[in-house]
Amino acid sequence: MAAWLGWVIESNWTDPFLFAVYSIVKPVSGAAILVIMYGIISQGNFDSAMFPYIYLGNAFYIYVGAVMTGVSWAVVDDREHYKTLKYMYIAPIHIPLYLLGRGVARFITGSIAVFITLAAGILFLNVNINFAEVNWLLFFATLVIGVVMLAMLGLLLAGLTLMTVRHEGFIGEATAGALYIFSGAIFPLNVLPEWLRPIGYFMPTTYWLELLRRSLVGNVAAAFPTLANFSDLQILGVLTGLSLLFGTVSVYVFRWCDSIAREKGLIDRTTNY
């Protein structure tokens, strides 16, 4: 039910033609900006392993913004825009499940954006993915674990959003922005100063993006030293472990935030921002 509601909201805000145009133009524009920047900095060296590294990292990073903020944004949407959060709260439903359901729609629209970005890269930008050599099992296993992990991180952010009446809309964006830097999305972690790298090593998104790249274009990932000493299985283990850790923490943080929000009377507090 929540997923259906999310989909109606995500897909019906404009007419179908504009929605289709928006769905294509937005991810392609985002990728184009990155490609142009890369082209200028590398002086047009698109054969370097760095290019698919950046391109794939950027393409899959769309899921981080979509799924994670999709879950937490449902709190802002229902509380501020539709003024229905209090009615959801007094209904006999499991609120975390409802919020996760609302994130499903963003996962679907995010998947469309990822697919379009990848297709544009393969068709027009010489991003070489040899489909015969793709490790599909690893790819789909990683994708599923990652999406679940991002949804649980979204639940954590939803809890914080619940407690934050002002500036709540920026929590998701700020977190997604921070993860963009520390997850090796567009540059390997070893580019960062040594004292900042542990942040990246603690982020499940780092291992998730690495595994996605390895499953699609193994040689590209091998060209960078950050996680080169780890096997696919080891990284999958780390990703699963960190996902379980973050997922458990998210559930407890959400419960705590929920109880604080009830204590402070924040569940139906609106700011008209």
- Dmax over CA atoms of the chain, in Å, equals 59
The b/e string for 18-35 (b: 16+ C-beta within 10 A; e otherwise) is eeeeebbeebbebbeebb
Is residue 219 within the footprint of other proteins (CB under 8 A)?
A: no
Does residue 263 bind other proteins (CB under 8 A)?
yes
For other proteins, give the closer residue by CB, 89 or 207: 89
Of the candidates 105, 49, 20, 60, the one whose C-alpha atom is nearest the C-alpha of residue 210 is: 60
- Say how far apart CA 135 and CA 139 lie, in whole Å: 6
Half-sphere exposure of 258 (CA within 13 A, CB side): 17
Q: Identity (one letter) of the amino acid at 258?
A: D
Cβ 151 to other proteins shortest distance, Å: 20
CB-nearer residue toward other proteins: 94 or 195: 94
- Report, in Å, the least distance between residue 56 CB and other proteins: 34
Count, residues near other proteins per rule CB under 8 A: 25
83 binds other proteins (CB under 8 A): yes
Burial category of 200 from C-beta neighbours within 10 Å (exposed 0-12, middle 13-18, buried 19 and up):
buried
Which of 39-47, 106-114, 225-233, 265-273 is the region at the interface with other proteins (rule: CB under 8 A)?
A: 265-273
Rounded (10°) CA dihedral 245, 240, 224, 117: -100
The reply to whether 13 sits near other proteins by the rule CB under 8 A is yes
What tokens does 239 get? 């990703």
Beta carbon nearer to other proteins, 232 or 268: 268
Residues 84-123, interacting with other proteins (CB under 8 A): 84, 86-93
- 208/185 Cα distance (integer angstroms): 10
8 binds other proteins (CB under 8 A): yes
Please tell me whether residue 167 binds other proteins under the rule CB under 8 A. no
Shortest Cβ distance from residue 251 to other proteins (Å)?
16
Sole window of 32-40, 220-228, 235-243, 261-269 interacting with other proteins (rule: CB under 8 A)? 261-269
Query: Minimum distance from CB of 259 to other proteins (Å)?
Result: 8
Q: Does 21 bind other proteins (CB under 8 A)?
A: no
Residue 3 as a binder of other proteins (CB under 8 A): the answer is no
Q: Which is nearer to other proteins, 109 or 183 (CB)?
A: 109
- In angstroms, the Cα distances linking 237 to 140, 142, 230, 231, 240 are 15, 11, 11, 10, 5
* Positions 230 through 259 that interact with other proteins (CB under 8 A): 259
Listed in sequence order, the DSSP H helices in 12-76 are 16-41, 50-63, 69-76
Is position 23 an interface residue for other proteins (rule: CB under 8 A)?
no
Residues in touch with other proteins (CB under 8 A): 1, 4-5, 8-9, 12-13, 82-84, 86-93, 259, 262-265, 267-268
